[in-house]
Amino acid sequence: MGDTLNLVKERANQWLTGNFDEETKLEVKKMMEEDQQELTDAFYRHLEFGTGGLRGVMGPGTNRMNIYTVGMATQGLANYLRSQFAGDKTISVAIAYDTRNKSRLFAETTASILAANGCRVYLFDDFRPTPELSFAIRHFKCRAGVVITASHNPREYNGYKVYWEDGGQIIPPHDRNIIEEVKKISGPDDVKFEGSKSLIKMIGEEADSKYLRKVAGLSLSPEVIKKHSQMKIVYTPLHGSGAKILPECLKKFGFENVVTIPEQDKPDGNFPTLNLPNPEDPEAFGMALNKARQIDAGLVMATDPDTDRVGVAAKNSKGEYHLLNGNQTASILIYYLLKKWREKGKIKGNEYIVKTIVTSDIISDIAEKSGVECYDVLTGFKFIAGLMKELEGKKTFIAGCEESYGYLAGDFLRDKDAVISAALIAEITAWAADQGKTLHDLLIDIYLEFGFYKESLMSVERKGKSGAEEIAAMMDKFRNSPPDSIAGSDVMQVSDYLKQKSFDTLSQLRHNIDLPKSNVLQFFLKDGTKISIRPSGTEPKIKFYFSVKEKLEKREDFEKVNALLDNKLQSLGNEFRFE
């Protein structure tokens, strides 16, 4: 602890004496005098790229989001771009940002530094969805892209995600190499902050128009939408970047009765109507569900601040609004896309979908029955994008999905996209309504055909340096002393993605895992349960993913089997509860 505190004080003193603004120096001095724990959390490490890039609490410090950490990251990125594309006279980079506090400042800082390093910059003139940044990279033939966002994190966070020339988030080796370049930047004196404005081009409506035209081309049932154009849809952007573009997209698809929530249409990084701007949080749907009940809406949707993830609510058999989890929405989306592709004769035997290893295996079952290959990749949509790049020109991508409310159809961008997803979910709702069904009815149809899968996620939060150490200790314990049984069911297989080995407890055989190393453990139980454990790459949490399944013989048994699965999930949660 003494060595750590000495390192922290050394770094803090560098900020007190270095080329930092006076306001920052005053904040650092105050921490040194009044709050050593806060000082430690602010300086004990440098922010690193995780599954979502650079992300942290805003404030002064090496472990905080501020113009200096953003600046040093950008200088490192610029140096890496120059080494990778030495033959380019002008390297182009696209930049977007969301509605969070300081997002525009960080975006403009990034643009200026890249320009100072001779890069041509395409900077969006206002907040935009993250997926549109991916589209812009490909459209403007950029070498890289940056989006300033902390996605669904609490209001005190912001982040910095780097994308490569294919439009996907950076993956190995580029992520590690950029980190190494950033580490070479010793302080703000190494950063070229002032760039020529002539190298910065503002982009906006033209990019929007081309993006929306591509999205509209993904519609598979325009005739059904025409019949149900007045279907009532409630949508909330949760104070985020989807406020304008997503309703416009729904209109382009043909939906004319989209109702929004005025209080949450307002872009605001303080998220004043929310505890957390996360569509996974049921509380985030409160205002939208109240409106839906008032107008008897057929569909309710909410997106996170950077509009790459969408949550969905639909009526169940009792007429009550039911929140779908990410696996359920993914199941419905994949089921519909594969069904329509087959009906239209588009399945030729060379198509594929992608899911992450923690996403429900019902997706694999649906793909197998449809004659479409399903790939598993590590957690993080960047790995879906990486596979798309690898298979480009060889196979046809239909869709990708992850349980954390992220989905993509179409291959003209390379990240999860809530604009595309929301439009297709609305189309599926109309398609179900044309058969006298709701989305919930459609979900039961899927369970009847493929089995009733149900999942839950439990997150254990541990903040700061001590929290990171505790999470590491938890993973070490599970890795080195795996349980023989969990919740009364024997462990049949243990997969360790860090060691890239899978161990069969019956045969005692080990098999290689053909995926990059990742700090993930999976336990497969005798009763079909799957448990995945991993530290979050973007938050101070360790996550436990539980998946259980049972047969559903007839529709009338839905509630009974649902209760049985809920009990199983509760038992699993109790096994891994930490106080």
Name the residues annotated as catalytic: 151
Q: Is 482 exposed, middle or buried (0-12, 13-18, 19+ CB in 10 A)?
A: middle
Q: How far apart are CA 335 and CA 267, in angstroms?
A: 34
Q: How many residues does the chain have?
A: 579
Question: Any idea which residue has 């969006």 for tokens?
Answer: 124
Q: How far apart are CA 527 and CA 451, in angstroms?
A: 14
- 154 contacts 56 by C-beta, under 8 angstroms: no
Q: How far apart are CA 177 and CA 235, in angstroms?
A: 40
Handedness of CA 130, 133, 135, 138 (dihedral sign): negative
Q: Which two tokens stand for residue 220?
A: 């598979």
Q: Is 29 exposed, middle or buried (0-12, 13-18, 19+ CB in 10 A)?
A: middle
- 542 contacts 459 by C-beta, under 8 angstroms: yes
Helix segments in 322-417, DSSP class H: 326-343, 362-370, 381-391
Question: Any idea which residue has 């049921």 for tokens?
Answer: 282
- 81 contacts 93 by C-beta, under 8 angstroms: yes
- The answer for 305, left when phi > 0, alpha when psi is -120 to 50, beta otherwise, is alpha
CA-based max dimension of the chain: 72
3-state secondary structure of 53: strand
Q: Which two tokens stand for residue 364?
A: 């694999």
Q: Kind of pairing, strands 200-203 and 157-164?
A: unpaired
CA distances 460 to 38, 58, 439, 471, 535, Å, are 21, 22, 31, 9, 9
Q: Which two tokens stand for residue 60?
A: 């002064």
Q: How far apart are CA 548 and CA 452, in angstroms?
A: 8
- 314 contacts 429 by C-beta, under 8 angstroms: yes
CA distances 525 to 161, 437, 485, Å, are 37, 35, 8
